[in-house]
Structure 1
């Protein structure tokens, strides 16, 4: 971990260049005048003055950022829909975005591009993105289309589809310049006029900038895709990207900030430190050069008050073999806090050392607060694929609950040197199983496949590296937790996290002399094979997916329930799941995520399922909730598209729900 960051009172309230009264010239009136104008300058610079002039409660009725707020809490103060009346919730409107054929298997939707978008709702307009990168604006109360923008329009050849989680919104101080910002699969950052959907011509080159420039120049055909919305801090759009997981050389995973008006680069942070930068010593010899991975493909969070942006950084490439990058590999698999205005490193905390499991930091960091000894501590919670939740001090990066470095299994792959220890949080306890014993395997006659598979695998507990023999890793690459992340209710101190109970299977096999890597993970089910049967039911006994409430003040699990059901088994087994939750002041946790094409609501206090409805396909996305400007009705909206890593129906549905008219 690196330097602390505690802005002084003066630096918070007196803007650069403002007049500060000297001690010799001290008088109360002069000081008050200087202090007042210092605060006003700060507010104007931050765009906060506009917020202060807004009618009370307006922003609470909307969903202005991916995570509900810049800190990713996914909490809404709305309570019109609550525990007592949620049983009456009905479909209010349905919008079909028109992308049913998104590749994959036509019969079961396997590997069709998923519809993962989380909409934004501002001033009565709902904005979302599609699996082909289109951006669409709807009337938030009726679902009527207002405009759409297609970045693949024109003679671009075959249409591309990929996961895309949404867009970001920015407005100037006066509110007369409102922009939608989003990234594309081919590495562009685009700014649209929020009212018309037309490109903002003053942004970059006719409304877009080429994000590949400066980070992917030497790798023109390599992946550089923006699948998550940028983080917005004042007048900056802060971007990461998806880069190759194989081979090890490719585009940089650096994080950059661009001016939202002009598109000009403001700062860059090297997630793989260059010579002279903190953390560079963790890379042996020239292992850092042209290294890809170590990127932020997921969501960042922003603390505007403390001028911090939080980066969940992924693993270094190649994901499963690190003989050419022996060491800690900073800042891979770390939560990194930067000065949001400058990109300066404030602190970091590495959660996996020398990752050879593809244990990216996958989720948006959740900015929470803890109550301890009568004081409120600003903190950040990081959900991980390992099933851990790390809770750190937001200012220093120090753990707020004990974390132990424990010895873990060694690797038997030639050349590989697994790090000897890994950090294990003592509290909260792991949310999922991290090992599987023979007694855990389904043993009925119909599950003989799983029994035979288990006995063919090597496993030595948590952090077992993929070896030269076929190996079981638990949790696998889908987690545990994933980009689904968590939602947080400050009033109760509960953090709600959905997770997978799903292992992975693979062996490291030598490659040809001219291959980019000496070893590569392989298995009968492909490079990312799962520990499940022919039906894609996990091989261990249920639950296979869970929703958990964690009391962040005590570091304890309050309740845990199976999330989802396998209809063929006629049981609430829980299912593999991707897609997050939201929580409301009405005491309700809303979540889709499961593979059973259902949308559910749970009691935030007890975990009791209060409501469930069928969807056209599984909702591998995070819902939103907002209040209609005209009707005053609370709506809940979710994308139900299916596809992705799981079999099942595919749809192009955006579904809205509300209570019936009185």
Structure 2
């Protein structure tokens, strides 16, 4: 059936493609049997390799202008009160059914040809989920499918700290999985489950009968260990410690011998890719907490910021490569590696390619982790680090490919599109900061971070055409400012009021994101905490602290009295603030606050709200992985008001990845301008665009039903707190 479908699709596209682009054989729609597996979209990123490639070619460069909306599915029934959390799901399609997650983490099954809902599983509904009530709303970037090849069909996905197995045909929990259909991922980590926060942003990977997962957005007290679970029973089969235990490889890269008991994060929050034939799972990890001050976690801290190759059967480490040593810039590995087979000197090399926030591509041998292109360990600046910090004197720099974004801001790079008064303002501020290139130490003065916390490359990751080994990566070129301030701890240790305890706890747990004045960083997607007394009761706010929401992890390790103290501060409850604090001692508890914290997530912007750096502010690059050379690079995204002034496309902030097809196209949403675009993959020319209901902060999926090719994308748009939606929008030829 699959081969017949491919022939039917490719015949219809071949004549038009050759007529329009005669001579470009790389665009021909004829498919070989080896590429047929790319005709489906059965998992996150399309296939195990995560290359986001489709061999379908009915839609091509000659007819993409005829693309029309085929259907729109509203995952929350247009209820705008439920649009608040991010909707970033990359759909999967199984036997004509499309599976996605809604903004409130409902699992939805939709007819992939019509957009009609088949069923919906709500993990917060006690009638559907009696044992594992889900209270948190965080981003869910996809779900996973497993079958025994007979009658057992399962969707495996996470909501809050729970791993669920749902019958793919009925939408009912499979009661024999775990307990009543779920597994609490806070258990099995050798720490108190009640004090940990686990929320997975990316889907699990399934190898044979093993579910492979990390710990997602863990809190300061939650390790990011990687585990394997039995897909039928939910039993934990193995664990790999991303913060090593005594006797394990990497243990001595932490100066603190107790780190494995108390430190958190180092989690593979961006997801996994899989070499199914060899049984090797690949992932990349984030940095240990605290993100910006490492005085409490001295050492290179394996396996933070590492590309990992792990035996999918046993959980044993095969190899690792650390992309940043002792990261204090929040340079997490933000997307799963992509698996490719390169042509190097006439030889085939199975490799992985890791895109990074720094704008580097690390190209490594898949079996050994050795560099395919040379990587140099170069000296970096360490002067001016704050007290107690010991930075790594060197960092790894790939020679090829060259970085796909700028990595240093100089005066000549400042934005001249704004009025002179605004330019003089950013120039003055620029000279007040440290701006000496990538890996400049965080400082009390303020350090320019370029690429920023959100890349460079982000969680959408690149797409690769396996026939040409050309990689397509979208990126941000935004400057941020990282400023550290010395933590203010209460001088009193006894007889504290709730106000005093709340201030100390806020400085330990909240200030790094929301800032000392609790204003957040709207430009960084961090909300203000001012005025929350008009939105939340104490009970609601305490639950919010416990469960987390969106990008914020829960703080389960805090006691009830500690949460109440924070609530009294944030909600401005004067009577409660003046009452005696009755919680545990703040001098003895773990994790203790750092000596320094950041003032929050702040972009370096002009008075008008544009980036202080000159354009482009968003880009797409096409890179030949066989040679490391660039094929093309374009600005990606635009500001309508600048366009009307005749200013060429500036590029714009973007999140979510591209899909590349055999029809010669690159499909991508991602941009803050809310457009969904089709781009000629050979030239970078935009061929078609459509205004989505809200920005498509997600990666599209490409599939075919009954000989008709579709492209679908989530249009949730919640990243920028402006336009929001619950819509999945599918397109096909008219």
Superposed pair shares fold, TM > 0.5:
yes
1:372 aligned partner: 344
Please state if 1:605 is matched with 2:682: yes
Distance 2:626 2:256 in 1: 43
Structure 2 counterpart of 1:412: 385
Single out whichever of 282-291 and 211-220 deviates more from structure 2. Answer: 211-220
Picking from 151, 157, 180, the partner of 2:155 is 180
Matched, 1:565 2:638: yes
Distance change in 2, residues 1:278/1:227 (3 Å): same
3-state DSSP of counterpart to 1:435:
coil
| Compared CA separation, residues 212 and 159, structure 1 to 2 (3 A) | closer
Q: Please give the TM-score of this superposition, normalised by the length of structure 2.
A: 0.78
Secondary structure in structure 2 of the residue aligned to 1:323: coil
Are 1:72 and 2:50 counterparts?
yes
2:404: which partner in 1?
431
Q: Counterpart of 2:212 in 1: which secondary structure?
A: strand
- The aligned residue for residue 243 of structure 1 is 217
Q: SS of the counterpart of 1:431?
A: coil
Change in CA separation of 1:236 and 1:158 when aligned onto 2, cut-off 3 Å = closer
Is 1:303 equivalent to 2:275 in the alignment? Answer: yes
Residue aligning to 1:585: 662
State the match for 1:197 in structure 2.
171
1:476 aligns with 2:452: yes
Q: CA deviation at 1:277?
A: 0.8
Q: 2:594 aligns with which of 506, 518, 521?
A: 518
Q: How does 1:607-646 map to 2 (within 5 A)?
A: 607-628=684-705, 630=706, 632-644=707-719, 646=720
Please give the secondary structure, in 2, of the residue aligned with 1:271: coil
Q: For 1:118-166, what per-residue CA distance to the aligned partner results, in whole angstroms no more than 9, with x for missing partners?
A: 1000110000012211100000000000001010113999964321101
Select 1:395's aligned residue among 355, 367, 391.
367
Seen in structure 2, the aligned counterparts of structure 1 residues 522 and 317 have a Cα distance that, compared at 3 Å, is closer
Q: Name the counterpart of 1:210.
A: 184
1:252 to 216, 223, 233: 223
In structure 2, do the counterparts of structure 1 residues 244 and 512 end up closer, same or farther at CA, with 3 Å as the change threshold?
farther
Could you tell me how far apart the structure 1 residues matched to 2:662 and 2:464 are? 11
Contact 1:230 1:237 in 2 (8 A): yes
| SS, match of residue 454 in structure 2 | coil
Whole-angstrom CA distance in 2 between matches of 1:74 and 1:346? 25
In the superposition, relative to structure 1, how do residues 611 and 316 fare at CA in structure 2: closer, same or farther (>3 Å)? same
Contact 1:229 1:299 survives alignment (8 Å): yes
CA distance 1:236–1:421, shift in 2 (3 Å): same
Give 2:89's aligned residue. Answer: 117
Matched, 1:509 2:495: no
Q: Aligned in 2, Cα 1:241/1:157: closer, same or farther, shift over 3 Å? A: closer
User: Which residue is 2:428 aligned to?
Assistant: 452
Residues 1:99 and 1:238: Cα distance change in structure 2 (over 3 Å): farther
Partner SS for 1:499: strand
SS of the residue corresponding to residue 325 of structure 1 reads coil
CA–CA distance in 2 between the matches of 1:269 and 1:651? Answer: 38
CA RMSD of aligned residues (A): 2.0
1:325-344 matches, cutoff 5 A: 325-344=297-316
| Structure 2: gaps spanning 5 or more residues | 1-32, 491-507, 509-591
- The corresponding residue for 1:24 is none
**Greater Cα offset, 330-339 or 146-155:** 146-155
Give the TM-score of the pair, scaled to structure 1.
0.86
CA distance in 2, matches of 1:209, 1:87: 47
Q: Which range moves more in the overlay, 467-476 or 210-219?
A: 210-219
What CA distance in whole angstroms lies between the structure 1 residues aligned with 2:77 and 2:432? 41
Q: Which residue of 2 is the match for residue 651 of structure 1?
A: 725
> Relative to 1, partners in 2 of residues 1:60 and 1:492: Cα closer, same or farther, differing over 3 Å?
closer
Distance between the aligned counterparts of 1:222 and 1:537, measured in 2?
38
CA change 1:59–1:171 in 2 (3 A) is: farther
If each structure's helix is expressed as a fraction of its own residues, which one has the higher value?
A: 2
Measure, in 1, the Cα distance between the counterparts of 2:134 and 2:280.
41
How far apart are residue 318 of structure 1 and its match?
A: 0.6
Q: Per the alignment, do residues 215 and 101 of structure 1 end up closer, same or farther by CA in structure 2, a change over 3 Å counting? A: farther
* SS of residue matched to 2:427: helix
Deviation for aligned residue 1:215: 2.3
Distance 1:159 1:220 in 2: 15
Tell me, in whole angstroms, the C-alpha distance in 1 between the residues paired with 2:404 and 2:351.
Answer: 19
CA distance in 1, matches of 2:443, 2:81: 33
1:58 Cα deviation after fit: 7.2
For residue 538 of structure 1, report the CA deviation from its aligned partner: 1.3
Rounded to whole Å, the distance in 2 between the matches of 1:100 and 1:291 is: 42
Segments of structure 1 that go 5 or more residues without pairing to the other structure are 1-54
Q: Secondary structure at 1:406's aligned position in 2?
A: strand
The number of residue pairs the alignment matches comes to 589
Contact 2:85 / 2:103 at 8 angstroms: preserved in 1? yes
Question: What's the CA shift string for 1:598-625, capped at 9, x where partnerless?
Answer: 0001111111111111111100000000
Match of 1:28 in 2: none
Give me the whole-angstrom Cα distance separating, in 2, the residues matched to 1:93 and 1:309. 36
